[in-house]
Amino acid sequence: MAVWLISLFSLTNEAESIQGDLLEEFSVLAAKSGAHSARGWYWRQTIKTLPRLAGFGFRTAPWITAAAVAGGYLLRKLVAPLVDTVTFAVIERYPVLFEHHFRAYLFFASTGLDIEHLITFLLIGFIVAFVARQREMVATIVLALIWAAFALSGSAYAVIRSGNDELLWRLAWYIADSFAIVVAGAIVRMHRLAVKPRPVA
């Protein structure tokens, strides 16, 4: 898991050296102090290393990463209303069907809509990750955090205004949307790592 995280966040040319260095020190530590202690050390190193790798990835290509995040945000703004419009257009197109299958109607108008938004976020995550070459995780995590921040503040505002704390349940979907963006980033990164040949010494 820790090795996988390092490969997700590091630039392709440095992942090999960092993983090799960690493994080399891990083997020495495991022989000296035991596997448990060595695993703890490995995880501490990984957790401290990830923000550094993310920061370095951003600093080496700030404009393309920022453009991918901004583009993803705007795309989401553009596409979100269309999801609702298309769903309700389909419902209205087949009124007889939904009159006989009221449960299906309820599903499409509530949970179905949430699932469609989730898929939309996943697709936007793919596009953002595709644009932010080698910085897939940085770009998608930043976009997910921005979206989560908006969702949190919006939900808090809605609950305070309406006094209806059941609205907080909506947050679970919003957080899932943000998570979908990051998952898309990880999928694209893993795909790129799988197709890219290892650098020649």
Site of interaction with other proteins (CB under 8 A): 14, 16-25, 27, 45, 48-53, 55-56, 60, 199, 201
Among residues 145, 190, 180, the alpha carbon closest in space to that of 8 is found at 190
Nearer to other proteins, 56 or 179 (CB): 56
- Determine the Cα–Cα distance for residues 24 and 48; give it in Å rounded to an integer: 18
Q: Tell the smallest beta-carbon distance from residue 147 to other proteins (Å).
A: 26
Nearer to other proteins, 14 or 114 (CB): 14
- Determine the Cα–Cα distance for residues 167 and 176; give it in Å rounded to an integer: 15
Inter-CA distances, 37 with 23, 40, 100, Å: 14, 5, 63
Nearer to other proteins, 57 or 185 (CB): 57
Q: Tell the smallest beta-carbon distance from residue 34 to other proteins (Å).
A: 18
Residue type, 44: R
Q: Tell the smallest beta-carbon distance from residue 78 to other proteins (Å).
A: 36
Nearer to other proteins, 50 or 79 (CB): 50
Q: Tell the smallest beta-carbon distance from residue 199 to other proteins (Å).
A: 7
Nearer to other proteins, 17 or 153 (CB): 17
- Determine the Cα–Cα distance for residues 59 and 61; give it in Å rounded to an integer: 6
Nearer to other proteins, 26 or 130 (CB): 26
Q: Tell the smallest beta-carbon distance from residue 200 to other proteins (Å).
A: 8
DSSP state of 95: H
State whether the Cα torsion 121-124-126-132 is positive or negative. Answer: negative
147: burial class by Cβ within 10 Å (0-12, 13-18, 19+)? buried
- Determine the Cα–Cα distance for residues 116 and 112; give it in Å rounded to an integer: 6
Q: Tell the smallest beta-carbon distance from residue 57 to other proteins (Å).
A: 10
Query: Any idea which residue has 């949307």 for tokens?
Result: 177
